[in-house]
Amino acid sequence: MKHLPNLLTLANLFFGVLAIVFTLHAPSFVSAYQGQEYMVTAPPPIYWASVMMGIAAVCDFLDGFAARLLKVSSPIGKELDSLADVVTFGVAPGMIMYQLLRSAYMQQPDAMEVTLLSVLPALLIPCFAALRLAKFNLDERQKTEFIGVPTPAVGLLVASFPLLMLYDHSVLHIWLQKIWLLYLLIALFCFLMVCNIPFFSLKLKNFSWKKNALRYILIILVLISIPFLKWAAVPFAFALYVILSVGKYWLFPD
């Protein structure tokens, strides 16, 4: 039983890699352009990557829960957890953003002239996720709160994008096809992961309203939003989490 937390961490890694496989497993077809034929890779059904990342997130939660329940911890477990997270919540969302950018560019009149450099900014997400996790492992201040947005929060937000494009009937799926917005989101995610702003943890040590007010507000508002927003509740939860954390930081810096 003492190896259960590490097995759950490896399960997190397994489903994270599987998410990457689903993201990159795109069908190809031949298209004609100005009398010449080109092999074009179509956007794959990357919503399956979202499902895999959701399962990985459950494993990521359970490995810490199992470690506390069994009262086992080890340096290798901590390092293994970070290595798994950089794949699941760094590389996988980076690949999703990469495919979303490619899909957005493929809808442009000059799609055949788009270069690889146009979509490479998506790879900044795994780079900044790795930096954020390295800082987390060395920063003693992050025992009760986070400095910068946790990588799973960013990863799960990006994982919701394919589901929004598949199921959302509002304007969100249209906005997610705008190239400038995708670039802006990449820059925002990278900044939030490595900024020095404290973000509160969702772990409850007791049920006191005074000590957990922000957590309760977040949980209550997100639960209320789910029937109305459906998958859009994920970006709503992320935005609310950032607003509450940043608001507390500016209003009550001590």
**Percentage of residues in the chain having pLDDT higher than 70:** 86
Q: In this predicted structure, which of 39-48, 128-137, 163-172, 199-208 has the lowest mean pLDDT? A: 39-48
From the CB of residue 54, how many other CB atoms can be counted at a distance below 10 Å? 15
User: Are 50 and 26 contacting, i.e. CB atoms less than 8 angstroms apart?
Assistant: no
Average pLDDT, the chain: 85
* H or E element, residue 32: strand 28-33
Instruction: Give me the residues paired with residue 28 across strands.
Output: 41
Strand 198-200 and strand 145-147: pairing? antiparallel
pLDDT score at 225: 94
* H or E element, residue 128: helix 124-138
Give the residue-averaged pLDDT of 6-33: 80
pLDDT band at residue 166 using 50, 70 and 90 as cut-offs: confident
pLDDT score at 32: 47
Show the DSSP H helices in the chain as ranges. 4-24, 47-70, 75-86, 92-106, 124-138, 151-167, 172-175, 179-194, 209-229, 233-251
pLDDT score at 34: 57
Tokens 């899909």 belong to 103
Residue 44 amino acid letter: P
23-63 tens-digit pLDDT: 887 554 444 455 555 544 454 578 889 999 999 999 998 88
User: Does residue 38 or residue 96 have the better pLDDT?
Assistant: 96
pLDDT score at 29: 47
User: Are 25 and 43 contacting, i.e. CB atoms less than 8 angstroms apart?
Assistant: no
Give the residue-averaged pLDDT of 7-29: 85
C-alpha–C-alpha distance, residues 52 and 18, integer Å: 7
pLDDT score at 26: 58
Instruction: Give me the residues paired with residue 40 across strands.
Output: 29
User: Does residue 233 or residue 145 have the better pLDDT?
Assistant: 233
C-alpha–C-alpha distance, residues 235 and 158, integer Å: 9
User: Does residue 199 or residue 78 have the better pLDDT?
Assistant: 199
User: Residue 180 has which token pair?
Assistant: 């400038």
Angle between the N-to-C axes of helices 151-167 and 233-251, in degrees from 0 to 180, rounded to the nearest 10: 140
pLDDT score at 177: 86
Residue 232 reports pLDDT greater than 60: yes
From the CB of residue 100, how many other CB atoms can be counted at a distance below 10 Å? 25
Give the residue-averaged pLDDT of 64-68: 78
